């Protein structure tokens, strides 16, 4: 069987019509595999954060505590399945009575799924993976991170702002790290009329993990669990 075109080939336009159909089939296959693997699972909490945080860094311990607190509240913990703060959150959830999920992505320099992700769903396509993050979550918790973390953060905020997501909290953990981002949103985007004042209310910035859990639990009753098919 001839392999389907890669993401890079498709996005660069280096595909024939037949190859485009093969690419679409690969997208459908990824969705189906994710639905089959996660179908019936209680909606969890997606935890995002940098892959570039070593286990000895204080933020790694914070990530472990975030994962532990979410799992002890009864929610599956969903991460990108990689190292750093993703691994930390999976470690905090590992061995508890909820799934510790890793949605891994196929990248040239990406390592295998971390050992604390006991349910692993691999992806080639970023947009499929991001859809699954949202589909099987009732909240996003965002630890310090880089471009990938910001991509996931603003994807969620855009979906909420445009009404595609309802009652979906976005919680930024780490006031020192995130204060500059929030200031920029207020002083640049809001001041220039690019967002409205209520858009800033879509984000909660905190260091208080009790507050994190209270916010998540307050929104749970607004959601229904996914069916076994989806």
3-state secondary structure 107-145: CCCCCCCCCCCCEEEEECCHHHHHHHHHHCEEEEEECCC
From residue 159, how far is each of 135, 164, 200 by CA, in Å? 12, 5, 14
pLDDT at 190: 97
Contacts of 121 (CB under 8 A, 6+ apart): 33, 34, 37, 38, 101, 102, 103, 104, 132
Q: Which CATH class is domain 42-220?
A: alpha beta
Name the residue among 93, 100, 136 with its Cα closest to residue 118.
100
Task: Please check whether residue 135 is in contact with residue 42, taking contact to mean a CB–CB distance below 8 angstroms.
Answer: no
Q: What is the 8-class DSSP label of residue 190?
A: I
pLDDT at 110: 58
Q: What angle do CA 65, 224, 215 make, to 5 degrees?
A: 35
Name the residue among 51, 41, 221, 204 with its Cα closest to residue 135.
41
Phi, psi for 151 (deg, rounded to 5) = -60, -50
Contacts of 1 (CB under 8 A, 6+ apart): none
Tell me the three state secondary structure of residue 214: helix
pLDDT at 221: 60
Tokens of 140: 């996003």
Which bin fits 225, alpha (ψ -120 to 50), beta or left (φ > 0)? beta
pLDDT at 53: 97
Q: Name the residue ranges covered by the structural domains of the chain.
A: 42-220
What is the rounded CA–CA span in Å between residue 109 and residue 124?
13
**Along the chain (230 residues), what's the average pLDDT of each consecutive run of 10 residues?**
67 77 91 96 97 97 98 97 97 96 84 91 94 96 97 96 94 97 97 96 97 91 53
Model-level pTM?
A: 0.91
């Amino acid at each position: 069987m001839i392999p389907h075109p890669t993401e890079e080939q498709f996005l660069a336009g280096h595909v024939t019509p037949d190859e485009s159909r093969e690419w679409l089939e690969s997208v459908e296959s990824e969705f189906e595999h994710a639905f089959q693997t996660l179908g019936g699972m209680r909606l969890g909490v997606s935890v995002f954060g940098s892959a570039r945080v070593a286990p000895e860094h204080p933020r790694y311990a914070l990530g472990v505590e975030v994962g532990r607190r979410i799992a002890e509240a009864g929610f599956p913990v969903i991460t990108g399945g990689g190292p750093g703060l993703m691994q930390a959150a999976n470690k905090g959830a590992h061995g508890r009575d909820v799934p510790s999920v890793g949605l891994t992505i196929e990248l040239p320099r990406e390592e295998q799924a971390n050992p604390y992700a006991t349910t692993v769903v691999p992806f080639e396509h970023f947009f499929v993976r991001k859809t699954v993050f949202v589909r099987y979550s009732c909240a996003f918790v965002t630890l310090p991170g880089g471009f990938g973390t910001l991509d996931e953060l603003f994807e969620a905020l855009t979906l909420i702002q445009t009404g595609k997501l309802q009652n979906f909290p976005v919680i930024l953990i780490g006031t020192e790290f995130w204060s500059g981002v929030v200031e920029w949103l207020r002083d640049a985007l809001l001041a220039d009329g690019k967002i409205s004042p209520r858009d800033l209310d879509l984000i909660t910035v905190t260091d208080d993990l009790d507050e994190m859990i209270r916010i998540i639990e307050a929104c749970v009753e607004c959601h229904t669990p996914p069916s076994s098919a989806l």
